[in-house]
Structure 1
């Protein structure tokens, strides 16, 4: 559904009105396309104090395809290496580095601050590095003009090379609706992207709930990136599922993901094993708890959580997910902040977050597989189009970018998780919500 307010604020009359009244003034977001695959401008590389990796970060930044410089009048992106900030006094270097340049950042620009994991053994270092999180989240809410800010933390023993896939994503139009996020990277990061144009070439991906909406967008982006996609949805969506699969050159698997033999049928559909498993299928059965019948509760928990746990366990145990594989589940901002009338839905989506955080280290150790989750906020879909006008407008505006996201924004985040080079990204829950004011 078209966002008429966003269109209006892009006109001369709209800009005049928002300046005079203080109403939200969203900027049109620049998303990835074949014509605009990268940010338009140089990448400013700054350091706050001493770097933990002197000389090692520059080659990683150059691999983004942006012109890296230490001085630019109108940078498209800014990367601040704050890995050497280990005391409260050292935070002054963060201010000194960004204060003079952040105003000059181009519209739809990117700010990425690099830090390290707060130490359990050094409370001064932990305080300084945790301070960066509050700093970045606040900057994301201030920066405006469609720009975003993120914090990337590298674990002890990690090298800048393990951040390559993450930096390419965050410093590109693919991350248009991701802001105010903290991404923690592990030291062990097997895998690399060998083909930037088709990073998923030769890999098999299965997407549940793929007939339409976010699932269709995810399947489309994975296919664009070279994956052979299997599109799964319930049998009653057979016709729409077939149309999606035909358009993508994919295969269709009509299947109820809650079926007892779902994992076995998925494994049979991918005899060479799965390299990417995307749990996107989900339903809502909204009612306030006092009015919610047990069957409405059970249906949502079964589809949104229980089926994910059941099929993931079975596919991992059977070896149907190949080593180097990626599992991506769909959580929700509702699972982080809660939502009136959605106790069942929020419980299920919060359960996904718990699954990811617990399973990720064990899946990596035992199976060589990463497990992450994407948590969408207000995304423009058929479901949100049916929301009453004033609630819909509130959902759109209550984030730092003052607009709703698109299904492709979720899909681009899933595709980043799915890349071979994203082996250092494990156990992460990344919100695709424009930095929603709820739970942010």
Structure 2
């Protein structure tokens, strides 16, 4: 089989799975353009506005916790289809919701889809990808997320500009949520065109289908070798349970996965992404200028994700993480110091964009790369669920505490707090994160032993 034919099946599977990332970003960020109109429509208090904006995170936690084990039972592809179906149901339900609490229920359903996609898309890509380009391919999932965020920024702006303010309050926000039906249905249809994960098939002892897929990815000679390697890694046939997470061979990668997931959030990324317009307003920008600068953040996010895609398999996960976190530390220090001096101007914008760029080339994509690689095949679904559950817990904690920190600590001290977390994250990556570039998943599993 020619290399181009091998590449075709790999990249097709990766791009389809990355549509799950696009839906993840799309559904997460749709609230940013609609919450103001909903607040007026439902006459929401500050507390209810916060709940309406963040209720999807509850679904994320549920989806993250149970999807891994479910995928171990019925397959990666089927659970991705469930994710797409949940996105579709949520888009229709939130658009047509007759009342606020019905809306909240459908947002939680959409959150479950986000939680599932955040685990299953990178897991599926990791299990399909050849070792030498696996980091690059898993990073494409993060490209899907940031592309989805950027797309919904423009979709929201387009819908908001169709008619006047009163139309947006009555109907515009519903169209914003309903627009998610289109990419959700496309995702479902595309999933019918890609194969199941060969590693999951081997676990089910469906060796012939697994070999067929591995041959299409690697060629016949290497495909047969890959099959035997995977079979050897699964010689322990006892059913996997949550109690097995205490096993020494799994405990260390699990702790590393959880801490990396948490560090990816407590260094402040979602505080900036969710509250960017308010941050820019606080430094003197008008509403229109603040929204434009938020779109610029989305563009920077996309551009520097390509940096990660290009260099993750050349420099390695650890090196790229250290470079990126260093940039985050410097930029957070500058933002904090500028606010401390009570200065305004483009220095804050440049520092925030530098922070976004540094995150987009490191912790953003590489968190998903690392946690999709470091767990044994037998435990990968459940272990990734646990790590990603803590990631979503950290997202919730940051989104809820950022306004509190801004009010009690002040803007400068809040950003310095995130800077401190980034310094700790740098030390953690330097000391504890293993380098996994160009190693097969089975070789990584063997090293933990």
Say yes or no: TM over 0.5: no
Greater per-residue helix proportion: 2
TM-score between the two structures when normalised by the length of structure 2? 0.26
